[in-house]
Amino acid sequence: MIEIRRAREEDADAIREMFHLAYGDDYFYPQYYNVQSLKRMILSDDTLFLVAEDTKTGAILGTASVLLEVGAHADLVAEFGRLVVHPEGRGQGIGGKLMQARVEFVQDRLHVGMVENRSAHEFSQRISHQHGFHPVGLLPDKFKLGERESAALYVRHFGQALELRRNHPHLIPEIYPLARLALENCQLTCDAIIEAEPRAYPHVEQFQIQEMESELYPVLLRFERGRIKQREIFGRMRLHYGLFQLRASHAQYLVAYRDDIMVGAIGYTVDENERTGKIFELVSLDDTPIYYLVSELVRRCQAEGQIDYLEADVNAYSPQMQQTFLENGFLPAAYIPAMVFNNVERLDVVRMVNLLTSWNGDSLQVYEVGRPVASLVDESLTLKNVLPQLIQTVKSAPLFAGLSEEQQQYVAASAELESLQAGEVLFRPDDPADKIRVIISGEVEIQNCHSQTVGTIGPDESLGDLASISDQTHRVSALVKAPGQAMLFSREELVQLVHTRPDIGMILFRNFSRELAEKLQRMNVHTLFKQD
C-alpha cells in the first residue's frame, strides 16, 4: 500500500537517490543532490516536501514538492516543483497521488499554482492537466539537462484569484494570440484589448551604466522607495528585501546615471549552473532610461556569453513595456492570468523570453491540450531566426512602400519564410488563391492554361496578391524557374493583419493597385486574359 506523507529529515538520502536516478549527473538544481540542502528544504516553512512510501517495505518510491511564496509581497503564488517516481514505483499511480496530495495540502494557502513540466515526455504534463492545471505557455530551452530542454507551463487558480482579476489587459498584437489561448484554457473569456499602434519607451542613449556595489545599496533603496509609478516588471525579489538576500539569490543591478544623477536601475538574477537569467525589477526616474537599461542588459548577456535564456514577467496592462521588450529580442512565451497582487486586484502577466541560443523545437513532446500554445511559441521562435531577412524584404519590396519602421516589423512578424525549389509548381489554374508571396530571391515563371509564358516574377515582386484579395481561384500557373526564397502570407493571416491594423491595410491595398498596374504594363495583357 502506498501512503503519501510529509517528508522527514531521514528521507533526504532516498530523495537524493531518486533525483539522481531520474536525471543522472546533469540536474539543473544541484541542491537536490545535497543531503543537507534537502534537509533544510524539508524543515522550511516555505517548502512543502511530500514522499510516497510503500507501507509494507518502508521504501520511498516517489517525491514531490511545492515552493510556497515564490511571488513578491505575499502574492499567494506557489510553484509545484519536480515530481519524481522511483523506477520500482512506476505504473502504480504514484505520480497522480502525489499531485493530488500537494493540491490538498496547499490549496487554502494559494491563489495561483504553477508547474513547469518537462517537455521531453508527456508524463508530468498529463498529470498536471488531470488535476486542474491548464497550459498557458512554453518556456523554450529553459532547463539544462546535458542538452537544453523546454518546459510546458501549466497554471491552476485557487480561492478568489479569478474574482480579483483586473479585466481588459492591454496587449501588443504579438502577445494577443497567446493570451487568447491561455485565457480560454483557464475557462476565461478573452477580454484583452489590442493596442493597434504600440510604442516602445523612447530610444535614449546618453547614460552611464554602473553595476551596483554594496555602498550603492542605500542610495538605490531610497531612490526606489521614492517611486510611485505602477510596477511593470514582476519578480520574487525586490530591492527592499535586503542586500544579504539579494546576494544569496545572485541578484545584480545595472544602474543608469545621467549627469551623475541616478535615473534608473534594472535588477536581475543569474543561475550560472542553468545558464539562465531573470529580470525581476525595473525602476526609473522617468521614461527615458527604460529602453536603454533593457537593451544594455541584453547586450551584456550576449557579449559575455554566460546566459542562454533570459526571461521577464511583464505587466499585461503596460503595452509600452511589452513593446520595449519585444524590440529587444524578447518573445511572449506564456500568459499567466491573475498572477500578481496590485493594490486590491490581481494582474495578468506576460512571461517574455529572449533565447540567446539557436532554437530547434523538433524534440518537443507536448501533451495534446497544450499543443496549440506550444505551436504558437514555436512559430514565434522559428520566425525570430528569419525575421531580419523578412524585415529587409519588407523594406525593399514595393508592396510595402510607405510603411513605418514599426509597421514593417509588424508585417514581417506576420509572414513565413518559404524555400522555392527549381521546377516546383506553386499553383495551377483553378487552385485556391489562398496565399500571397513576395519573392526574396530566385525567379517564378507565369504560364497561361496553354503552358505559354506570359511573364516572370523576380525579387521584391509579389505573386498571388490580386487573386487572394478578390477571393478567387488562380487562372494561371506559377513555376519556379530559378531557386530561391519567398515571404509567404496566407489569406487568413492577411485578413487578420488588415483587421487588426487597418493603418497597414490601407497602405497595402494602395500598393497592390500600383503593383498590378505595373505588371499589366510589363506583361502581354492580351495573352494573359484572352488565352488564360
Domain that holds residue 480: 397-530
Q: Give the bridge partners for 354, in sequence order.
A: 310
**229: DSSP letter:** S
Rounded to whole angstroms, the Cα distance separating 20 from 249 reads 24
What was the pLDDT predicted at 212?
Answer: 83
Comparing 428 with 337, which gets the higher pLDDT?
Answer: 337
Predicted pLDDT of residue 70: 60
In a domain, 62, yes or no: yes
Do 352 and 204 fall into the same domain? yes
Kindly report the CA angle at 316 between 159 and 155, in degrees rounded to 5?
40
Q: What mean pLDDT, rounded, does the chain reach?
A: 87
Cell of 55: 507501507
- From 328, 358, 388, the end of a domain falls on 358
Claim to verify: residue 153 and residue 174 sit in the same structural domain: no
Residue 529 has pLDDT above 70, yes or no: no
DSSP track, 101-123: HHHHHHGGG-SEEEEEEESSSSH
Rounded CA separation 7/43 (Å): 9
- CA dihedral 34→38→44→48, nearest 10 degrees, is 140
Letter string b/e over residues 46-78, b meaning 16 or more CB atoms within 10 A of that residue's CB? ebbbbbbbbeeeeebbbbbbbbbbbbbeebbbb
Helix (H) or strand (E) holding 442: strand 435-447
Pair (344, 424) in one structural domain: no
Q: Is residue 384 part of a domain?
A: no
SS3 state at 194: strand
Contact (Cβ atoms closer than 8 angstroms) between residue 119 and residue 78: no
Average pLDDT over residues 257-267: 91
- Flag whether pLDDT at 525 surpasses 60: no
Same domain, 418 and 494: yes
pTM as predicted: 0.78
Q: Which of 302, 336, 358 is the C-terminal boundary of a domain?
A: 358
Q: For residue 59, give the amino acid letter.
A: A
Q: Which of 96-105, 230-239, 299-308, 356-365 has the lowest mean pLDDT?
A: 230-239
Does 141 share its domain with 183?
A: no
- Whether residue 258 lies inside any domain: the answer is yes
In the listed set 358, 388, 413, which residue is the last one of a domain according to the structure?
358
**Which residue(s) pair with 59 in the sheet?**
none
Q: Look at residue 365 and tell me if it is in a domain.
A: no
- Domain count across the chain: 3
Q: Which CATH number is 146's domain given? A: 3.40.630.30
- 282 found inside a domain: yes
**Co-location of 121 and 175 in the same domain:** no
**What is the SS3 assignment for 125?**
helix
Shared domain for 144 and 253, answered yes or no, is no
User: Which CATH number is 404's domain given?
Assistant: 2.60.120.10
Distance CA 474, CA 456 (A): 16
Q: Please check whether residues 405 and 525 belong to one and the same domain.
A: yes
The pLDDT score that the predictor gives to residue 485 is: 92
Per-residue pLDDT at 54 exceeds 90: yes
- Say what the pLDDT of residue 500 is: 77
- 12: pLDDT confidence band, cut at 50, 70 and 90? very high
371, part of any domain: no
Q: Which helix (H) or strand (E) holds 482?
A: strand 477-490
CA pair distance 480, 157, nearest whole angstrom = 53
pLDDT of residue 249: 67
For the chain, what percent of residues have pLDDT higher than 70? 91
- 165 in a domain, yes or no? no
Q: Are residues 457 and 323 in the same domain?
A: no
Residues 151, 182 share a domain: no
Span 464-503, pLDDT tens digits = 876 665 657 888 899 999 999 999 988 888 887 888 788 8
State how far the Cα of 141 lies from the Cα of 123, in Å rounded to an integer: 18
Closest CA to 192 of 179, 174, 211, 206: 179
- 76 and 31 in a common domain: yes
Statement: residue 322 has pLDDT above 90: yes
Residue 348 and residue 316 in contact, taking contact as beta carbons nearer than 8 Å: yes
Helix and strand tally (H, E) in the chain?
15, 24
Confidence of residue 530 (pLDDT cuts 50, 70, 90): very low
Most confident of 182-196, 228-242, 468-482: 182-196
For residue 153, the model assigns a pLDDT of 97
User: Residue 314 is inside which H or E element, if any?
Assistant: strand 309-315
Does residue 367 belong to any structural domain of this protein? Answer: no
Using CB atoms within 10 Å of the CB of residue 348, give its burial: 0 to 12 exposed, 13 to 18 middle, 19+ buried.
buried
Please answer whether residues 443 and 400 qualify as being in contact, where contact means their C-beta atoms are separated by less than 8 angstroms.
Answer: no
Q: Which three cell numbers stand for residue 181?
A: 489561448
> For residue 108, which phi and psi values (nearest 5 degrees)?
-80, -5
Q: Using CA atoms, how far apart are residues 180 and 171, in angstroms rounded to an integer?
A: 11
**Three-class secondary structure of residue 47 per DSSP:** strand
- pLDDT tens string 392-422: 899 999 889 999 887 888 888 788 888 899 9
Banded pLDDT at 528 (limits 50, 70, 90): very low
User: pLDDT tens digits, residue range 335-365?
Assistant: 999 999 888 899 999 999 999 988 878 778 9
How many other C-beta atoms lie within 10 A of the C-beta of residue 463? 21
